[in-house]
Structure 1
Amino acid sequence: MASHAKPTPPTGASTSSPEGEPGHFPASLLYQAAKLYYSEEATQAEVAAQLGTSRATVSRLLAEAKRRGIVRIEVIPPSDVEVGDLSDRLARALSLAKVVLSLPVPAPGPGRTTLDVMGGVLAPAVGRALSTAGLLAGDVLLVSSGRTVYEVAQYDLPPLPGVLVAPTVGGNDQPEAWYQTNEITRLVAARVAGRPNYLFAPALPGPDLYPSLRNDPSIQRVLDLWPQARCALMGVGAPPLMRSDIPRFVPTESTSLRAAVGDVCSRFYDRAGDPVEFDGSGRLIAVELEALRHIPVTIAVAIGAEKIDSIVAGARGGYFNQLVTDPATATAILTHLEKA
C-alpha cells in the first residue's frame, strides 16, 4: 500500500502544535494566509491546503491578522445611507418631522447660476415629500411664491388628482414670474393634476383698496381655503436687507426689517422665529405665520448658505415641519448649529 506523506508544516509554524494558539502565530504566517484569502480570493479550504493546516486554523489566522492590523477592512456606506444619516441628524437638530435631501446641485455652466439648475435637482425630493403627505381629492395644497418653488414647478411632480391648489399670498401685480403667485399655482396644479384656485389681488393693497378686496367673493373664496389646508409648499426667503431680489411691495427701507432673518409666504420673522412687522403689513394678503403652525404638513424647500439663518429661525418658529434641501446646505446648517 502506498504511503501518504503528511503535508509539510508551513514555514514558521510550530511542528509540535500545527494548529497553533491564537496570538502566537508568526506575522509572516498571518500575512501569507491573509494574502491568499483576501488578495487572491482563495477559499479557506484552499488556504488550508496550501498552508498544510486545517480550516479552523485558517479562521484563527485571519481573525488574528485583523486584530494585529495586518488586515484592515473598511466598510464604506453607499450614498443613500450617508444621505439618510445626514437627513436624520438635521431633522433632529431642527426638531422637524422630516428632512428630504436632494442629490447634490451641480455646478452651473457658463452664463448660468445655481438658481437656473436647482429646479431639476430639487423637484424629485419635493415630489417625495408631497407623495407622503397623504393628500386626497378635495384636500387643499397651498403654494407660496418665490424663485425656488417657481423653479421646482417647471419639473414633474407626483400626481395628486383632484387636490385643490391655492396661493398663500397675493401678487398679481409683481413683474417677476416667480412672484406671480397665480402663475406658480397654475404650474403646480398642472404638474400634480390638481385644480387651481387663483387669488386676483396684490400682496399689499393700499388702504382704500384693501377693505373692498377682502369683501370680494372671489377673493374670499380663496382665503376661506387657507384654514382648510392639509399641506403647504413654501420657499424660505433670505434676510430681506441682504437680498437683491425681493417682491416690490416689501419696504426694504423699513427699520423694523433689520431684525428679520427670513420669511415664508412673505411673512417675516427674526432670529428667534418671532414675527417681524413693517409699516402696512396689517394689509398684507398672505397666510398668517400662526396659521402655518396648524397645517398638518408644511414643506419648506430652500438651499444656499445665505439661507442658513432663515431656515434655522423658520424651523424654530414652527412655520414648517418638513424641509427639502441639498446635502451641502444640510451639512452647512449642522456645522452652523454645532458652532452656535
Structure 2
Amino acid sequence: MNHERKKLLAKVAYLYYVENKTQAEISKNLGIYRTTISRMLAQAKKEGLVKIDILGFDSELFALEEYFRKKYNLHQVDIVSTNSNESEDEKNDALACSAANFVRTLILDNQIVGISWGSTLSKMIEKLDNRHAENTLFCPLAGGPSHIHSKYHVNTLVYELARKFHGRSAFVNATVVQESEKIAQGILQSKYFEEILNYWNHLDVAIVGVGGTLDESTSQWRDLLSKKDYQNLEKEQAVGECTCRFFNQKGVPVYHQLQERTIGISLDKLAQVPKSVAIARGTQKSQALLAMTRKKYINCIVSDRETIIEMLRLDNDDSFQ
C-alpha cells in the first residue's frame, strides 16, 4: 500500500475517531461513497493506523485542515507536511504527489473537467496513476503562452490528463493575452471558440494553479505583457493571478483593459464550478491564495503547511503558529 493511500485512511480515521464526525459527514466532505468510508475505517484498523491516536501521521496536520476548511467554508482541504530542511524541488514534488491523489479521487464519470497550466499542474499530472472515467471530457481554462516548454502548455496538460483518465479532449488555439480587446473579443465570439465557452458554462471540476508575484523572470507566460501592463498592475495593487486573471488583496479583478484582452475563464465563472481546486504552494503565493479563498473563487485547496500558516497569519489568525 502506497503512502498516499495510507494517508487517506489515516485522515478518514482522524475525522471519525477524533473529530467525531459521522460516516455520512465524512462522505460528503471528502466526496467518497459512504460505503467506502466504512470499508476504509475497517482497513485503517486492520493496518494498525487506529490505536488510541492516529499513528504514522501528524494529527495536528489533519486538525489544521479541518480548522482551515471550516474557517473559510471550503469543501475539501489537503495539506502537505514539509520540512524546512527540504529543497524547493522536494517540497514541490511532495505537493505534486498529494495533489495527484486528490485529483484522482475527485474526477468521476460523465464530467467536464477544466484545467489551467504551469509547472505545478504538469508535475501533478506526471504523478497521476491511470484511472478510467467513463464519458469524461477535459478542456483548457485559458489560452496558451507565446514561448514555453511544450510540457507546460495547456493543450499538453489537457491531453495528458485526458489520457490518464481515458477521457476526451478539447483544445484551445489562441494565446492567453491578445494585443487588443478587439482581437480578444473576436476570438471569444468566434465559431471555433463556441465549444470551449459551452464547456466553461457546464464545468463539474476546475483545476487551477495560482501566480503570486509580478516578477516576470519567474513566469512562463508573462512575456505577453508590456511594461505598461506591469506598471498598471502595480498601480492597481495586483497580488496575484489565476487563469491569467489578475486581482487585488480583496480578490477583486484589476486592470480592466487587460481583463478584456485575456482569453481565459473569468474568476466569477470559476466561483460557480461545483468543485474548483487550487493547487499551489510557497509563501509568495499566500496573499493570492488567501484573496481567492476569501472571495470564494475556489472551494478546494491543496497546499503545504507553511503556505497555509502564512495565509492564516495574513488573516491575523495565529491559532496554529
After superposition, residues 145-294 of structure 1 pair within 5 angstroms as: 145-157=117-129, 159-161=131-133, 162-171=135-144, 173-177=146-150, 180-207=153-180, 209-241=183-215, 244-247=218-221, 248-251=223-226, 253-254=228-229, 255-258=231-234, 259-294=237-272
After superposition, residues 1-340 of structure 1 pair within 5 angstroms as: 78=55, 79-104=57-82, 114=88, 116-118=89-91, 120-133=93-106, 135-137=108-110, 139-157=111-129, 159-161=131-133, 162-171=135-144, 173-177=146-150, 180-207=153-180, 209-241=183-215, 244-247=218-221, 248-251=223-226, 253-254=228-229, 255-258=231-234, 259-338=237-316
Would you say the 8 A contact 1:143–1:233 is kept in 2? yes
Q: 1:252 to 1:215 in 2, by over 3 A?
A: same
Where 1:217 maps in the other structure, the secondary structure is coil
In the TM superposition, residue 105 of structure 1 has moved relative to its aligned partner by 6.4
Structure 2, unaligned stretches of length 5 or more?
1-51
Identity of aligned residues (%): 21
Where 1:213 maps in the other structure, the secondary structure is helix
Most deviating of 225-234 and 252-261: 252-261
Q: Using the alignment, how far apart are the partners of 1:319 and 1:157 within structure 2?
A: 28
Runs of 4+ in structure 1 deviating by more than 6 angstroms, as ranges, are none
Question: Which residue identity does 1:123 align to in structure 2?
Answer: A
Q: Using the alignment, how far apart are the partners of 1:194 and 1:253 within structure 2?
A: 41
In the TM superposition, residue 195 of structure 1 has moved relative to its aligned partner by 1.6
Q: Using the alignment, how far apart are the partners of 2:263 and 2:171 within structure 1?
A: 13
Q: Using the alignment, how far apart are the partners of 1:180 and 1:102 within structure 2?
A: 26
In the TM superposition, residue 337 of structure 1 has moved relative to its aligned partner by 2.8
In the TM superposition, residue 120 of structure 1 has moved relative to its aligned partner by 3.7
Q: Using the alignment, how far apart are the partners of 1:81 and 1:130 within structure 2?
A: 22
- Of structures 1 and 2, the larger Rg is shown by 1
Q: Using the alignment, how far apart are the partners of 1:305 and 1:183 within structure 2?
A: 28
How many residues matched? 260
Q: CA RMSD in A?
A: 2.7
Q: 1:170 to 1:242 in 2, by over 3 A?
A: closer
Q: Using the alignment, how far apart are the partners of 1:245 and 1:253 within structure 2?
A: 17
Question: Which residue identity does 1:164 align to in structure 2?
Answer: L
Where 1:222 maps in the other structure, the secondary structure is helix
Q: Using the alignment, how far apart are the partners of 1:281 and 1:159 within structure 2?
A: 36
Would you say the 8 A contact 1:105–1:117 is kept in 2? no
Say which structure is richer in helix.
2
Q: Using the alignment, how far apart are the partners of 1:84 and 1:280 within structure 2?
A: 40
CA offsets 1:277-319 (integer angstroms, 9 cap, x no match): 2534302110011101110000001111111111111111111
Would you say the 8 A contact 1:233–1:300 is kept in 2? yes
Structure 1, unaligned stretches of length 5 or more?
1-74
Aligned to 1:48: none
